[in-house]
Structures are given as structure tokens and as C-alpha cells.
Chain A
Amino acid sequence: MESRSRHFKANAAASLANPVLQANLKTAKGKFVDKRAISIKEIDDFEGSREAAKNIRNRVLENLDLWLEKFEENATARGATVLWAKDGEEICRHVAEIGLRHGVKKAAKSKSMLSEEAGLNLALTAAGIRPIETDLGEYILQINDNEPPSHIIAPVVHKSLDEIADLFHQVHKTPRKTEIPALTREAREVLREHFLTADMGISGGNFLVAETGSVALVTNEGNGRMVTTLPHVHVVITGIEKVVPTLEDLSLLMRLLPRSATGQSISNYVSVLTGVKTPAELDGPEHLYFILVDNGRADVVGSEFQDMLRCIRCGACMNHCPVYQTIGGHAYGWVYPGPMGSVLTPLYTGLENAIDLPQAATLCNQCGVVCPVMIPLPELLRKLREKQVEKHLRPWFERIALKTWAWVAGNPPLYALGSWLGVRYLKWLAGGRDRIPVLGVAPGWTLGRDFPAPEGKTFRELYAKKKGR
């Protein structure tokens, strides 16, 4: 998927000015947050579980090469083929080749954010394979002219029931339905036909289990089970960072993932899939492929941003983010929105291509507090800001302003004079009130709030006065 992250400011402004989107974001606001808060109370030692989850993920990342080899060895022993892809283009090439080899005409897809990174649907269509998204949200986006998702687990959180009702009426050419269960049934009937006739199932992977060479897939709708049970070929597309050591580790992570994502104690379906079907089995794929993807991940290993690779894609950070809540996911411009996206997008697509994303945060640390694998998101955003400055990527006026500030701050008499003048100017501007409604030098700052007026003396003056007494 081509990144539009460099246009973040314009995208965010457009989102703020879109009344339909603002109403839809308001409808969604807080639903996942409230459910999560209730469900984490079921775990006696939630903080201990977060700590354990962090350690599980770190254990693998610290020796990722050898854990990947262990996974590959065990997956291959069960009849799976393990392929590697450096970037999105190579993902597309692998899937098209697999399709050609097995005579695939139609591929049913369970949700895979990596296929969004790769723009896989367009590539499949070009290769003569019809891709069908089967997650209800992703299906809605696909029939709406391949619109990108705005949330990693609730892809159509930005759309209202009315918009979806109109879309189904137009695309399915059926009478317009207004009830959510009726719309869900309509999609079920359309997609059931595709499940039964697809030659290939494509899924992501929530976790890869090194011990057994398995992929763990988590869904509520059952589409993950369909695409890995009915077609004769199953392709798993997943990042190289998704390995966990044992089934016990998977069990612990499964206590955290659904609770952090949707506030469920467990997702409806957790499938742990290992190898291909035996000749006597009545269902299951005869061919299983894993595509292990780099696309920027390998260069994060061993770097100061390695903590980010612990991410298990639950979406809790965006559900709790005041910025995400206000602008929605599309404004971020690439596959991953919210705080995790503001770290991943610059790392995977280049710092210069996502110049405003590390700034798209108040650093309030709501994201860091809820992250089930304890990723210090505000700290990583701050480090990215430092990188931008080091690489001279910030705009010229910001660089000049900071240089000027550094020069003044390093020159005590000048600093004293500047602040002496500053407080007097601001006091004059306040005109006897305790706040300033419009700040002349930075009018944007006072658009939604007042600037508190200074009392009239600088700290240095007050300190000198107290010392002299």
C-alpha cells in the first residue's frame, strides 16, 4: 500500500472537518475501552501477565534468527513450505507463483495487515486470481472500491450503519436493509459461496509457535477457520517477529490479546494449525505455505526501536489514544494507525515519509499504560523526534527557532532579558485579566483554550528578591 503519511496534517484537517466521520468516531468512542477495563479484572495478576508477555516476546527477539530457524525446521517437518519475502513486492510474487502452481482462480482471505502492506489484492487481480476479503469489515471495504481500513481490528469503525446499508443495496442489488443482523446475514450468504468455491485460503498469523511449527489464528467470525479448512491451498503471510517459543507462551498471550483488543475473555475461535492434512482426513489443505516477511522489520532488530517488535496488534493503543479518537485511522496515511502506527510507519516506510507522525501524539502515555506487552510508545515516539532533528528532517523555521532558542538559553544575561521582556509583554496583553484569549504570536495555540497570563515577575526576579531578604 502506498503511504500517504507525508500528508498527515492535511489528512487530519480533512478528518476534523468531516461531520459524518466525526459522528461515527463519536459512536465508536469508548466501547472497546470500557469492555477492556471490565475483562482485565478477570485476570488475577494482570500486571504480572503483562510482564510475562513482554519477557516472552523479548526472549524471541533477542535471538530472532535462531528462533526463526527453529520454527522453520518444525514447520517443514510437518509438510509446510517456508518462504521468505524482503518486501511487499516479493510477497505478491510468492502468492502469485503459488497460485499458478496449484491452478488457483479464487483466493478467500482472512484478515492480514501484511497483505495491506503489500497491496496484495491488486497484485492477485493482475495475476488472474480473484481475491475475496471475508472478514465482514474488510469485505465492506473491498466492495467500496478497495477503501483502506481505518483500524487494525475494526476496519470499518469509521463507517455508519447507514453508509453500509447503502453500499450493500448498491453492490448486492438487494432491497436496502437497515438492521445490523440482516446486513450480516446478507454478507454471510454472499461470502459462504466464496468459501466453498475458493481454491486458496490466505490468512495472516497472530503467532508462530516455534515448538510445533504452527500458526495461531484468532477470529470471531469464523472466516479464519473457513479459509484454512475448505480450500486445498493455505498461505500464511506473517512478519518475522511473530514467533513465540511454546504453546504455554501462546496460552499466556491469549489471555491478553482478546482482552486488550475487544475486551473479550477469549476470541470465539483460536485455531492452532500445524502442517497439511493427512490422506485419511476429510478436510484441511493439502498444501501449506508460510511467507515470512521482513518489509522493514529486520532493520529494527537490535536497534533502539526493537521494543516495537513485541507488538501483538491488539489495537489497545489506538482505542485509548486521544489523537486517534479525534481524527480516525485514515489520517495516518498507511496500514497502521494510532500510536503503534506512528512508530511503525516511519520505521518501515522511512522517517522522511512520515515526518509528522511522531508529532501526532500528546505523549500522555495512555497507550504505554494499556499496551499488553509494555511497549514504551511515548519513549519511542520521542526517540523518533530526536532522529528527525539529527537527520535535519524538520522544517527550516522549526530548526532556526530551536537553534535560536538554544543560543538564548545558553546565554544567561540574554535569557534573563528575554524572559523579563516576555512576562511584561504577556501581562500587558492580558490587560488585567488572568488569561489571554488570543495569543498574537501563536494564534493556533489559543484556538481551543486560553493562555494563562503571568503574574508579572520572572522566576529569576522572584528568586533574587527572596535571596536578598
Chain B
Amino acid sequence: MNSREDILGRVRAALGRDAVNTVAVRQDIDAVLAARVQGPRPAMPTDLAALTARFAEKSAVQSSTIDRVANLADAPAAVARYLKGLDLSLAAVIWPSLAALDWRAAGLAVEARGAVDSDMVGITGCFCAIAETGTLMACSAPDHPATVSLLPETHIALVPMSRIVPGMEDAWALARAELGSLPRAVNFISGPSRTGDIEQTIVLGAHGPYRVHLVIIEGE
């Protein structure tokens, strides 16, 4: 007997599975999957301005830094200002989906591709952002490579204000509505990577970015 049948066989025997209850339970399972019942959720603001304030506040708790600009076209200058302020590299790897902005005019040299080890700055967008915890949701796709938010020491994300949702449940609802099925990788990112393994002392920059900077685009 193969291991699948052995394991499932013992589980079936322990649960008293038979042909009749199999049909009934399969229907129950499909009903549970269709119902998508939500558990208790913390109260969240309903208007976008308050939701954005909550997102910014919680992002700061996660050690992200936050900037706000009026329009998408203002983003390159805001990114350049941030990088110059910390004396960081002005060369960056960027999601292909954002390459069309005028980065050169802001003094930045961007390359649209997946990130490699030597990239010091990665610029991404996000699928949406979650106010409850100050979290970005990034969905992998050919023009959204997952490495750009992971390998460089500095990660900068552009966050359209209209894409800030209250909680993770709302993010899933948006993904189902707009993408249909889930992409290969959904990454929820809440601030720079960190570890507390040595004496439970939090250190930023374990394997991923040391810094996460969020630029909220109010007009998007």
C-alpha cells in the first residue's frame, strides 16, 4: 500500500468515513469554501483619510518610513529626496510596471528587471496595502518580480492611497475580484526584515532590506 492510502486510510477509519457521509461532507466543504465566513475583526476607520492615517501610523510601528506626494508623477522626486537624505545609491532596480515614470529627471538611474545581489535599492509598487497592520501586499507577476522587494538593502514602495484597505480579508477580496486566481507568490511585507534570535534583541536587516520607505500617492 502506498503512503497516501495508508495515511488517509487510517484517518478515514478513525473518523468513521463511509460512502454516504463522504458525499455529505464534500458538500459541506464546498459550502464552507463558498461562504468564506470572516472571524471577529478589529474596528477600522471607514473613510479613506482616516484609513491612510492608520496605515501610516502602523507602518511607522513596523519601522517603515513614510512620505506623501500628491501625484504619481511626483514620486521620482520624492524617492530621490529620500535616497539623497540618507546618502544612499541613486541607482535602483525597479518593477518593469513602474519604469515609465520619469526617473531620469529626478536624477535616478533605474533598471527594470529582477533584482540581483549587487542591487542596493529596489523600487516597487504594491497590489494593495493594509491599514490594520501597516502591511504591503505584493503579488508576483512578470512585471512585478518578487526579488526587487527582497534582495536590495533599501526597499522603496509606491502606495496608491485608493489601494489602502482595512484588513487582510479585504485584500483577498480585491485579489479574487481583480486577479481571479492567486498569483504564484503573494507577499505581505510589514517593514524591514529583522531577527530577534540573539538574546531576543531585535536587529533590522536580517536577510532582506534594512530599510523600507513608503511613498503614499494621494491622487492615485
A52 x B39 contact (CB < 8 A): yes
A49 x B206 contact (CB < 8 A): no
How far is it, in angstroms, between the C-alpha of A65 and the C-alpha of B192 when the chains are bound? 39
Q: What's the nearest-Cβ distance from chain A to residue B140, in Å?
A: 6
Asked if A274 meets B182 with Cβ closer than 8 Å, knowing A184-B205, A247-B172, the reply is: yes
How far is it, in angstroms, between the C-alpha of A268 and the C-alpha of B189 when the chains are bound? 6
Is the C-beta of B97 less than 8 angstroms from some C-beta in chain A? no
Please tell me which one of the listed residues A32, A226, A292 contacts residue B200 in the complex, with CB atoms under 8 A apart.
A32
B172 x A155 contact (CB < 8 A): no
- In the bound complex, residues from chain A placing their C-beta under 8 Å from that of B142 are 278, 280-282
Please tell me which one of the listed residues B43, B62, B199 contacts residue A180 in the complex, with CB atoms under 8 A apart.
B199
Q: What's the nearest-Cβ distance from chain A to residue B149, in Å?
A: 9
A269 x B195 contact (CB < 8 A): no
The tally of CB-CB contacts under 8 A between chains A and B is 259
- In the bound complex, residues from chain B placing their C-beta under 8 Å from that of A240 are 7, 11
- In the bound complex, residues from chain B placing their C-beta under 8 Å from that of A56 are 39
A273 x B199 contact (CB < 8 A): no
A44 x B43 contact (CB < 8 A): yes
Q: What's the nearest-Cβ distance from chain B to residue A33, in Å?
A: 11
- In the bound complex, residues from chain A placing their C-beta under 8 Å from that of B22 are 66
B189 x A269 contact (CB < 8 A): yes
Is the C-beta of A68 less than 8 angstroms from some C-beta in chain B? yes
In chain A, positions 344-400 with a C-beta closer than 8 Å to chain B are: none
Is the C-beta of B162 less than 8 angstroms from some C-beta in chain A? no
Is the C-beta of A9 less than 8 angstroms from some C-beta in chain B? no
Is the C-beta of A148 less than 8 angstroms from some C-beta in chain B? no
B42 x A42 contact (CB < 8 A): yes
Is the C-beta of B183 less than 8 angstroms from some C-beta in chain A? yes
How far is it, in angstroms, between the C-alpha of A240 and the C-alpha of B11 when the chains are bound? 10
- In the bound complex, residues from chain A placing their C-beta under 8 Å from that of B193 are 220-222, 268-269
Q: What's the nearest-Cβ distance from chain B to residue A296, in Å?
A: 11
In chain A, positions 309-361 with a C-beta closer than 8 Å to chain B are: none
Is the C-beta of A238 less than 8 angstroms from some C-beta in chain B? no
B184 x A284 contact (CB < 8 A): yes
Is the C-beta of B68 less than 8 angstroms from some C-beta in chain A? no
B198 x A229 contact (CB < 8 A): no
- Report the interface size for chain B: residues with CB under 8 A from the other chain: 74
Is the C-beta of B4 less than 8 angstroms from some C-beta in chain A? yes
Which residue of B is nearest A292, CB measured?
B7
Is the C-beta of A121 less than 8 angstroms from some C-beta in chain B? no
How far is it, in angstroms, between the C-alpha of A43 and the C-alpha of B41 when the chains are bound? 7
In chain B, positions 93-122 with a C-beta closer than 8 Å to chain A are: 113-114, 117
A137 x B197 contact (CB < 8 A): yes
A301 x B11 contact (CB < 8 A): yes
Segment at the A interface, from B28-36, B45-53, B78-86? B28-36
As a 0/1 sequence over residues 157 to 183 of chain B, the CB contacts with chain A under 8 angstroms (1 = contact) are: 000000000011100100000000111
- In the bound complex, residues from chain B placing their C-beta under 8 Å from that of A411 are none
Is the C-beta of A206 less than 8 angstroms from some C-beta in chain B? no
- In the bound complex, residues from chain A placing their C-beta under 8 Å from that of B184 are 273-278, 281, 284
In chain B, positions 5-28 with a C-beta closer than 8 Å to chain A are: 6-8, 10-12, 14-17, 22, 25-26, 28
For the A-B complex with A240-B7, A252-B39 known, give 17 more contacts whose Cβ atoms are closer than 8 Å. Answer: A53-B39, A63-B15, A181-B205, A221-B207, A226-B207, A245-B32, A248-B172, A250-B168, A262-B196, A268-B190, A269-B190, A271-B187, A274-B182, A274-B185, A281-B140, A281-B142, A294-B6
14 contacts between A and B (CB under 8 A): A64-B15, A67-B29, A84-B4, A161-B199, A212-B181, A222-B193, A246-B33, A266-B62, A268-B192, A268-B194, A269-B208, A274-B184, A274-B186, A302-B16
Interface positions of B (Cβ within 8 A of A): 2-4, 6-8, 10-12, 14-17, 22, 25-26, 28-29, 32-33, 36-40, 42-43, 58, 61-62, 113-114, 117, 132-133, 135, 140-142, 145-147, 150, 167-169, 172, 181-201, 203, 205-209
Interface positions of A (Cβ within 8 A of B): 27-28, 31-32, 42-45, 48-49, 52-53, 56, 59, 62-70, 78, 84-86, 90, 134-137, 140, 154-157, 159-161, 164, 180-181, 183-185, 188, 191-192, 195-196, 210-212, 214, 220-223, 225-226, 228-230, 240, 245-252, 254-255, 262, 265-278, 280-284, 292, 294, 298-299, 301-303
